[in-house]
A and B are shown apart, each in its own frame.
Chain A
Amino acid sequence: MAPAFPSGDDRADFGTGGHRQFSFHDIVLRNRLTALVVDGVDFCRLVEQGFLRSCGLETQGVNNGDAAVELIASGAKFDLIIIDMFLPVMDGLETTRRIRALGERCKIVGVSAYIGENDREAFLAAGGDVFSEKPVSPEVLIPILRELDGQYSNI
């Protein structure tokens, strides 16, 4: 049964006065895309995977860098990997380096609660592709998904 939350029209006027460019429902994928979410916080992973699934991706989630590296090393293939920079034990930067060292060339998006210019540079130097503030927004993710899906982006 549908929840009693206000309707989509009501949500459009969510009171901030701002205009949203994208929603996670704004994309229709033509191809099957897969994503891995690496986040040490269970509910954050739930949210991130939820957004990706709503865009039509198949997702997996792990809560630490070692598990992500093991998964890639075992041959699992993903079109997209989202990595939180703040991970237990092995941080997101090292996780990114190790994934790239395995020869994995998929799109890697790094997310962090705090963004410093040095953080972005370090992530790109580690082999990452896009660095974003956490949580990753539709404005960041949808163009990436369209690129992966081979669609022309008209933004």
Chain B
Amino acid sequence: MSNKLIGEMGLHTKISNIFAARNIITAKDALSMTEFELMELLDVGMKEIRLAIALISEATSPPCQSARSLLEKKVENEHLLGHLPTHLKGLDETLCGGIPFGVLTELVGPPGIGKSQFCMKLALSASFPVAYGGLDGRVIYIDVESKFSSRRVIEMGVKSFPEVFHLKGMAQEMAGRILVLRPTSLANFTESIQELKDSILQNQVKLLVIDSMTALLSGENKPGAQRQPQLGWHISFLKSLAEFSRIPIVVTNQVRSQNRDETSQYSFQAKLKDGFQEHTKTYDSHLVAALGINWAHAVTIRLVLEAKSGQRIIKVAKSPMSPPLAFPFHITSAGISLLSDNGTELKGPGINTIHARGHSDMINFHGDCS
């Protein structure tokens, strides 16, 4: 929309030519300047500028829909009401059906907690026929750290859906729908996802998994401040890709230690003398999600996986439709399964903290986990 040509918007020829003469060809060029600046540049009166901008704006504006028609479209068009079931009953209930279409869902947690296992299971479910709660489509799995194991995926399939997998040729077909990409660099990855944009709809791709986003960016070795603009482009692109093609995009993220000078306070909080002030910088929660606060704003759903006193927990840390629930889980040969479908509600910012205590003994499930 922003690249719409001014020449085709039905403006008066005279003013259209003036715009073109000053190299203002697309709507983006025109709207990136203030009205005063345009007036100076084009040597045209304020009234004409306003008229021209009004026309350009009307042509470039996105269309209006009522929220009701949004809902009706969802019900009509989307399988399973626009959610990919995770087959974890408690989690699916909380998320109103599963991983939602059209938005970014993030899985964050310490190494070895089960993020890749979760992703592999999701990839498998998406490839299933609709009758078994799947999306009957292809899956693109971007495996940056070489954690994808086809043997493991088939094992999960056999153990969790034996009736499907024992059918002749099913395993081959299901596994055949999962396309694994191993980008060697960020540039490589960027190229691949740009290509994807066009081919997603044509090729029935129903899920995109990026495991992990952090690994892609950390390979670039640029100082912290430089990271933001790079990530910015990817964030916008992934979000628009998700929305445009109405597929779920699942991204995994790693953790890092909190810097000593990091804070979660505003300047006015020091002045407010509420009795409840407590510094959240306890030694327990010294881990935070990587990729920064901008990324944290951009994801729609954030699932935190952590380990506390030897117990693995999955928490719904950010979700516009769910209360902040935590579920204990464990990993079996059939993949991740919840130990209890009734989550405990965690009030407060604690839902965002990531623990890794008592965790080191749990890594190396099955030997081929990360």
A and B held together in a complex: no
A binding-site residues for B, Cβ under 8 Å:
none
